[in-house]
Amino acid sequence: MLTQTLAFIQAGVAEGLHIGAQLYVAQNGTSLVDTAIGDCRAGIPAPAGTDAGKRRDAASTLAEAPAAAMTTETLMLWQSACKPLTAVAVGLLKDRGLLAWDDPVARFVPEFAQNFKESVTLRHILTHTAGLRAVHLEWPAATWEQTIAALCENRPEPRWAAGEKAGYHPTSSWFILGEVIQRITGQMWDGFLRSQLLAPLNMVRTLPAFAPGEFSTLSATGQLGILHRTTTPAPADMLLDTQQCCTNPRPPGGIHGPARELGLFYQALLTNRTPAGGEFLHPSTHAELTTPQRVGLYDQTFRHTIDWSLGLMINSAKYSGDNYPYSFGPLASDSAYGHGGSQSSVGMADPARGLVVACIFNGCPGEAAHSLRIRTFFKTLYEELPQ
* Segment 264-286, tens digit of pLDDT: 999 999 999 999 999 999 999 99
Q: What is the pTM of this model?
A: 0.94
E-strand ranges in 28-141 read: 30-41, 68-69, 76-77
Q: DSSP secondary-structure letter at 98?
A: S
- pLDDT tens-place string over residues 65-80: 568 899 999 999 999 9
Percentage of residues of the chain with pLDDT beyond 70: 94
pLDDT of residue 156: 94
Can you give 312-324 as a three-state secondary structure string? CEECCHHHHCECC
Which stretch of DSSP H or E encloses residue 118? Answer: none
Q: What angle do CA 163, 171, 113 make, to 5 degrees?
A: 50
Which domains does the chain show, CATH number per domain?
3-82+195-384 (3.40.710.10), 84-189 (1.20.58)
DSSP reduced 3-state for 346? strand
Query: CA 63, CA 48: separation in Å to the nearest integer?
Result: 11
Question: Which among 235, 267, 210 is positioned nearest to 61, based on CA atoms?
Answer: 210
pLDDT of residue 212: 83
Q: Are 237 and 363 in contact (CB under 8 A)?
A: no
Question: Which among 246, 129, 271 is positioned nearest to 190, based on CA atoms?
Answer: 246
Q: What share of the chain is helix, strand, coil (3-state, %, to 5)?
A: 35, 15, 45
Query: CA 346, CA 78: separation in Å to the nearest integer?
Result: 8
| One-letter identity of residue 303 | R
DSSP reduced 3-state for 374? helix
pLDDT (mean) for 335-363: 98
pLDDT of residue 54: 45
Q: How many CB atoms lie within 10 A of CB 234?
A: 10
pLDDT of residue 136: 83
pLDDT of residue 60: 42
pLDDT tier at 50, thresholds 50, 70, 90: very low
